[in-house]
Chain A
């Protein structure tokens, strides 16, 4: 049987019953190899000066027990770090899980090396400023060419992803004027407040109309007062007609006939041209109709600048409106010293009349 060798270092195992003249040489060779390997191992152990390496498996297995070190690992001083979070942070890729406790930062960088967002010790957040003065302080030159007119700089924009409606904020480059705008080209801006429920209180539509449902209080500081509030404005037309106080008769208007009113609060101003022909009217008074009822406890007079009534001789022509009524009364003076009188409907018939007048009165 030939010589065999050990599985790791290949030491010669002399054949039993043979190698009578060679076994001594073979054993000596083996001893030299063992001596050499023991020296290498001893040198390596002395150089490492630690015993941890022997306990660390090269691959597989599970390390148990604490590792105490003051050396560096992957370029970092593991002992000085003294934290366990590093092990959970992927160097690249992957997903970090768990909570980072005690994280400190003065801001967030952009994708280069500049600070994009500053967060100071008071939790003030600054964009465009490293010294934020307010909880959110944006201080940038903004950008043009997007929202607003040509000389408008947009600094911030808040919008919904649903339909892109929202607000943008900025300023004008040509004057110290702040600008708030709608993010959509045809967007309105609505203001809502909560009063036992949300409701829209004011709107600026795309065409620039300011629509304020609750009126505008003027001259009373920040406090609402009905007496200081303009809550009604309306302008329109009406058809003024002449009629008798007993029998209204009928009034056929001509092309000059027109009536306009402007109502501001409870004050209504009329301007009209009564042009046409009255027929069939009777009574002690001649009246004309109003677009609103006269307020109780009030009365007013109106003036007529031009009156063409062929059958009516007069020096002065005016009108009178009475509380609670919806009609005005014509009033004339026939002499400079005489008392005004109320002409009867017959004075306005049968020929066509033209009466230009204005009346301002308080509306019920």
Chain B
């Protein structure tokens, strides 16, 4: 009857035209292979963000979708939606 903590990125989504990479990390407590409980934690890697600290899988996805064009488009989008001051 061994308890183990298993952390996985169980859902990685590429969302919107700006290819935001939404990462869901699942932390599960397992007993002899049976999940007793679990919880989710999320973060988003936005086009233009530094993703060097991400998992290899997320890095691969970001490298594939965060092209220069996408990064530029998102930067333009942010600039276009500039807030009044």
Residues of A near any B CB (own CB < 8 A): 234-239, 245, 261, 284-285, 289-293, 296, 320, 322-327, 329, 339, 341-342, 364
- A290 close to B41 (CB less than 8 A): no
- A285 close to B83 (CB less than 8 A): yes
- B85 close to A289 (CB less than 8 A): no
- A289 close to B43 (CB less than 8 A): yes
- B42 close to A291 (CB less than 8 A): yes
With the chains together, A326 CA to B20 CA distance in Å?
A: 8
- CB within 8 A of A324: which of B17, B43, B83, B85? B17
Kindly state whether residue B78 has any CB partner on chain A within 8 Å.
yes
Query: B50 to nearest A CB, angstroms?
Result: 9
Tell me whether chain A's interface is mostly helix, strand or loop, or mixed.
Answer: loop
Given A285-B83, A342-B85: A324 in contact with B41 (beta carbons within 8 A): no
Given A293-B16, A293-B22, A364-B15: A261 in contact with B42 (beta carbons within 8 A): yes
With the chains together, A261 CA to B44 CA distance in Å?
A: 14
Supply 25 A–B pairs (Cβ within 8 Å), ascending by A.
Answer: A234-B24, A234-B40, A236-B24, A236-B41, A236-B42, A237-B40, A237-B42, A245-B78, A289-B43, A291-B22, A291-B42, A291-B44, A292-B42, A292-B44, A293-B44, A296-B16, A320-B83, A323-B81, A325-B46, A326-B20, A326-B44, A327-B46, A329-B83, A342-B83, A364-B16
Residues of B near any A CB (own CB < 8 A): 15-18, 20, 22, 24, 39-44, 46, 74, 77-78, 81, 83-85
With the chains together, A340 CA to B32 CA distance in Å?
A: 56
With the chains together, A100 CA to B42 CA distance in Å?
A: 72
- A324 close to B39 (CB less than 8 A): no
Known A234-B24, A238-B42, A364-B16; further 12 A-B contacts with Cβ < 8 A: A235-B40, A238-B43, A291-B42, A292-B15, A293-B20, A293-B22, A296-B16, A322-B83, A323-B81, A324-B18, A325-B78, A326-B44
Q: By CB atoms of chain A within 10 A, which of B17, B24, B42, B44 has the most?
A: B42
What residues of B have a CB within 8 angstroms of the CB of A329 in the complex?
A: 83
With the chains together, A79 CA to B16 CA distance in Å?
A: 92
With the chains together, A274 CA to B27 CA distance in Å?
A: 22
With the chains together, A187 CA to B20 CA distance in Å?
A: 41
- A292 close to B83 (CB less than 8 A): no
- B83 close to A236 (CB less than 8 A): no
With the chains together, A238 CA to B23 CA distance in Å?
A: 10
- A293 close to B15 (CB less than 8 A): yes
- B16 close to A291 (CB less than 8 A): no
What residues of A have a CB within 8 angstroms of the CB of B39 in the complex?
A: 236-237
With the chains together, A341 CA to B16 CA distance in Å?
A: 28
What residues of B have a CB within 8 angstroms of the CB of A237 in the complex?
A: 39-42
With the chains together, A327 CA to B43 CA distance in Å?
A: 11
What residues of A have a CB within 8 angstroms of the CB of B74 in the complex?
A: 324
What residues of A have a CB within 8 angstroms of the CB of B42 in the complex?
A: 236-238, 261, 291-292
Nearest-neighbor residue (CB-CB) of B41 within chain A: A237
Query: B61 to nearest A CB, angstroms?
Result: 15
With the chains together, A237 CA to B25 CA distance in Å?
A: 10
Nearest-neighbor residue (CB-CB) of A325 within chain B: B78
With the chains together, A329 CA to B78 CA distance in Å?
A: 12
Nearest-neighbor residue (CB-CB) of B38 within chain A: A236
What residues of B have a CB within 8 angstroms of the CB of A236 in the complex?
A: 24, 39-42
Query: B81 to nearest A CB, angstroms?
Result: 5
What residues of A have a CB within 8 angstroms of the CB of B78 in the complex?
A: 245, 325
